[in-house]
Amino acid sequence: MSTTLPMPKRTIHTQHTYSPWRVSVAPMMDWTDRHCRFFHRLLSQHTLLYTEMVTTGALTHGDVGRHLRFNAQEHPVALQLGGSTPDDLAVAAKLGQDWGYNEINLNCGCPSDRVQRGAFGACLMATPVLVADCVKAMVDVVDVPVTVKHRIGIDTEDSYEFVRDFVGTVANAGCEVFIVHARNAWLQGLSPKQNREVPPLRYELVAKLKQDFPNLTIAINGGITSGEHMHSHLQHVDGVMLGREAYYNPWLLTEWDHEFFGEAPTTLTREEVELAMVDYMEQAAAEDGCPWYAIARHMLGLRHGLRGSRYWRQVWSNHKLKPLPPREVWSMAQAFVGMQAPDQASSSLANVG
């Protein structure tokens, strides 16, 4: 269990006061686990981090500790829940608060078949009154903010009024923060991956939500890939959430405390971060036998775009190295940092394997 006290309604004070939702990394199943979040937290102190979606079923019937434990250093961190039964969500939200999460977020944006079979995720947008009941059930039992992540529409329902009425109904139940993935979810015929690429992005609808609900916190998500993009969205909404770009190009996060939270520019180096991750891998192995490669997989983008990054990455993802301690793998990976000549690199890599 997290040893840090929960920080309800946390506001960030540097020179200015910033909304906690100003910049966040999206919930991503199988990606934003606690190891990934630990890594991201090394890169940015203020960015809000989200868990993968945890279903109410996993918490009521499964191993709660496995799903909810996290490292106190991950704060601020939000727990995303998947579910559609108010009573179950209330129990899960309370558990989340007790385990120290700073926020409980309800997933109303996932279009996968599995989630639809459970009648939650994006299909919940068709039943705003049920979502309102879910939100109310959670708000009644926790002090931390209850927030909703959703799409702008489902299937062919693409009118602004649809998403506006959804937000209005759910806000009346006590949700003050909406994170809007600015494209429709198509519940039939598209895979979850296609559902993140095919339906067109319509950022203007999210900006309009902010105009129509000035007292709500509205954060925008979908297809945002640079600091410049983020700044331009922040002219219209309260927050920006990045998913894939943050994962594939995590060094971006090191600019955010300075760019968006008024901190001094970072002096952090990739070498320091990599070494901190090696320490963390050793700790995790000692604590619960967690293998280094379950952690290293999340930092493979650390040298994104730099010379030698491909070879460096190949070392950290080389399954033949699994039996070695992480510090040895680290030392092998160093041989490829900044390496220019692919021939030289690949022959050294052959010796590694």
Ligand X SMILES: Cc1cc2nc3c(=O)[nH]c(=O)nc-3n(C[C@H](O)[C@H](O)[C@H](O)COP(=O)(O)O)c2cc1C
Whole-angstrom distance, CA of residue 44 vs CA of residue 224: 18
Q: What distance in Å separates the CA atoms of residue 291 and residue 322, rounded to the nearest whole number?
A: 8
Query: Buried b / exposed e across 107-134, counting CB within 10 Å, b at 16+?
Result: bbbbbbeebbebebbbbbbebbebbbbb
302 binds ligand X (CB under 6 A): no
121 residue type, one letter: G
223 contributes a contact to ligand X by CB under 6 A: yes
Does 80 participate in binding ligand X (rule CB under 6 A)? Answer: yes
Has 110 been annotated as catalytic? yes
Residue nearest to ligand X (CB): 243
Residue 147 contacts residue 104 (beta carbons within 8 Å): yes
DSSP assignment string, 235-270 = TTSSEEEE-HHHHHSGGGGGGHHHHHH-PPPP---H
Residue 237 interacts with ligand X (CB under 6 A): yes or no: no
- The C-alpha atoms of residue 147 and residue 125 are separated, in whole angstroms, by 14
* Binding status of residue 222 toward ligand X by CB under 6 A: yes
The number of helix segments (H) and strand segments (E) in the chain equals: 16, 10
Nearest distance from C-beta of residue 179 to ligand X, angstroms: 8
Residue type, 108: C
Pick the piece of the chain touching ligand X (CB under 6 A) from 34-42, 216-224, 306-314, 335-343: 216-224
184 near ligand X (CB under 6 A): no
Residues in contact with ligand X, shown as a per-residue x/- string from 7 to 46 under the rule CB under 6 A: -------------------xxxx-x---------------
Binding part of the chain for ligand X, among 211-219, 229-237, 243-251, 279-287 by CB under 6 A, reads 243-251
Binding of ligand X by 349 (CB under 6 A): no
Q: Which of 110, 123, 134, 175 is catalytic?
A: 110
Active site residues: 110
Interacting residue ranges for ligand X, rule: CB under 6 A: 26-29, 31, 52-53, 80, 107, 109-110, 149, 181, 196, 221-224, 242-245
